[in-house]
Structure 1
Amino acid sequence: MAKQDLEITTRDGVAKAGLFRSATAPSSKAGVVLYMDAFGPRPALNAMAERLAGEGYAVLVPDLFYRNAPYGPFDAKTAFVVEETKAALTALVKGTTQDMTINDSGAFLDALVAEGVTGPVGTVGYCMGGARALNAAATYPDRIVAAASFHGGNLASDAADSPHRKAASIKARVYVGMSGVDKSFPPEQSARLAEALRVAEVDHAIENYAGMAHGWCVPDHSVFNATGAERHWKRLATLFAETLA
């Protein structure tokens, strides 16, 4: 597995990113943008990107918090428990708006093209990255053909930048895997998102991972669940195999 360190010029500065490719598919034309969770790029996300790259995709993992670099590193098991790191993380998340990431995503897509990834693109986001993966699909519908969110929060909130408000712009196939109980994505938001996607005639699936807690997919998270994570990998592999091939 090969990792290439990139520096991507955006409207607001330079974002560092890792580009992962399999040694058996070094010239893959299909790409994936992996939108991080709140703890930032780190070995656990790199391992997830490597697994996706093993499916034959070029996988980009950008640092969404680059405007505030340097920061961290954060321990995903304790960062929201310790008051000091909780405050720092909360500031980073709130200070990195959906609109910022939407604008950045154009540069991320261009960076893939510059690296020879000229085929279809999928997005996947975890935690705070879930809404960003969907918003990217709505903003760049001619470039993104699949979008997935796992334990993503506020996918159909009252906020103006909530992804469900842009459902009519999405051409991608959408998959949402939600935690069994998740205060950041309660049942009323799930119903609202489902209605918006159905009215917009978006090809989609919303699946409830009963018993899983927010963060279950990411291996260094305190609530990581190996069985649930494997289920998520199967769903993600199928989504991308059917859309990025």
Structure 2
Amino acid sequence: MPTKILQIPTADGQADAFAAFPSGEGQHSGVLMYADGFGTRPVLREMARELAGHGYYVLVPNLFYRHGPAPVIELPEHIGEEIRPALFAQLMPLIEAHTEERVLSDADAYLKFLTSQPEVSAGPVAVTGYCIGGLLATRTAAAHPGQVAALAAFHGPVGVDGPESLSKITAEVHFGHAESDLTPEALGELNQALDEAGVGYTSEIYPGTVHGFTMSDTDAFNAAALQLHWDRLLPLLDRTLTKS
């Protein structure tokens, strides 16, 4: 499967990015994939290749490019619970510096770049994200109604911007929540906000999961939940995008 390391022009410089797409000639619908707070690393590249194998061009930008190329901090092969606090002590200043203004500016650049690639077909795209990337994906979909046809976010703080932001989304949505992140009551409140916003969606708590359940390089990983994530994501993209 072809992959590329790319440089995306942004208002603040160049964002390094990983791309994966099907082999052979032809064009493919684009998917913008936002990493979790640990950033672009082997597990994200593996997930991008998996998704590309289903007929999509997948672009994974380095969210923290302003602080250096990915990985911005040194990461172990496996991110165990014992090392998470030390890693997040390094990451939190980067996350806090990634303001909503920067998120939206970057989203403009990422989508412009994605849709200009010769392997990407004309038409709408999808955005997907994990952890903090789920919030970035949601903000991207809200800022680009009409262009973003599908939004999927997993174990992310998707509702923190409030009901008004959700009302701007025209994409079909799937939110997959960790059991440790959201109570059934909070899920009901979020889903009510989605109903009131008129969003077409599915939103559910994945049973037996903790935050980060899709990431196979962490202690949070749950293989059954990762498969459920694919079982939700792939049909969503099939319904909303033109697959090669």
Identity of matched residues, %: 37
Shift of 1:81: 3.0
Which of 137, 141, 147 matches 1:137? 141
**1:192 CA drift (Å):** 3.2
Equivalent residue number for residue 123 of structure 1: 127
SS of residue paired to 1:239: helix
Q: Which residue number corresponds to residue 114 of structure 2?
A: 112
- RMSD value, Cα: 1.8
Displacement of 1:177 after TM fit? 0.3
Report if aligned partners of 1:28, 1:56 keep a CA contact under 8 Å in 2: no
SS in 2 for 1:29: coil
Say if 1:163 and 1:109 are closer, same or farther in 2 by CA, change over 3 A: farther
**Which residue pairs with 1:156 in the alignment?**
159
Distance 1:212 1:3 in 2: 31
Q: Is the 8 A contact 1:134 1:163 kept in 2?
A: no
Q: Is 1:181–2:185 an aligned residue pair?
A: no
Q: What is the letter of the counterpart of residue 11 of structure 1? A: A
In the alignment, the residues of structure 2 paired with residue 83 and residue 148 of structure 1 have an alpha-carbon distance, to the nearest angstrom, of 27
**What residue is the counterpart of 1:191 in the other structure?**
188
Secondary structure of the equivalent of 2:167? Answer: helix
Query: Judging changes above 3 Å, is the alpha-carbon distance between structure 1 residues 124 and 164 closer, same or farther for their aligned structure 2 residues?
Result: farther
The one-letter code matched in structure 2 to 1:179 is: A
Superposition map of 1:2-17 within 5 A: 2-17=2-17
Task: Identify if the C-alpha distance between structure 1 residues 94 and 187 changes in structure 2 by more than 3 Å, giving closer, same or farther.
Answer: farther
**1:223: which partner in 2?**
220
Question: Partners in 2 of 1:98 and 1:200 — Cα distance?
Answer: 21
SS at match of 1:169: coil
Once the 2 structures are TM-superposed, how far is the Cα of residue 165 of structure 1 from its aligned partner?
3.0
Q: Give the Cα–Cα distance (whole angstroms) in 2 for the partners of residues 189 and 65 of structure 1.
A: 30
Quick check: 1:14–1:66 contact (8 Å CA) kept in 2?
yes
1:30-69 alignment runs, 5 A limit: 30-69=29-68
Looking at structure 1, the residues matched to 53 and 139 of structure 2 have their Cα atoms a distance apart, in angstroms, of 26
Q: What TM-score do the two structures reach when normalised by structure 1?
A: 0.90
Taking the aligned partners of 1:78 and 1:47, their CA distance within structure 2 comes to 19
Distance 1:58 1:163, change over 3 A: farther
Shift of 1:191: 3.0
Gaps in structure 1 of 5+ consecutive residues: none
Q: Distance in 2 between matches of 1:79 and 1:86?
A: 11
> Are 1:146 and 1:240, in contact at CA under 8 Å, matched by a contact in 2?
yes
Tell me which amino acid in the other structure corresponds to 1:156: G
Pair 27,163 (structure 1): closer, same or farther in 2 beyond 3 Å? farther
| Inter-partner Cα distance in structure 2 for 1:80 and 1:242 | 41
Q: Which moved further from structure 2: 75-84 or 164-173? A: 75-84
Amino acid at match of 1:129: G
Q: Is the 8 A contact 2:28 2:55 kept in 1?
A: no
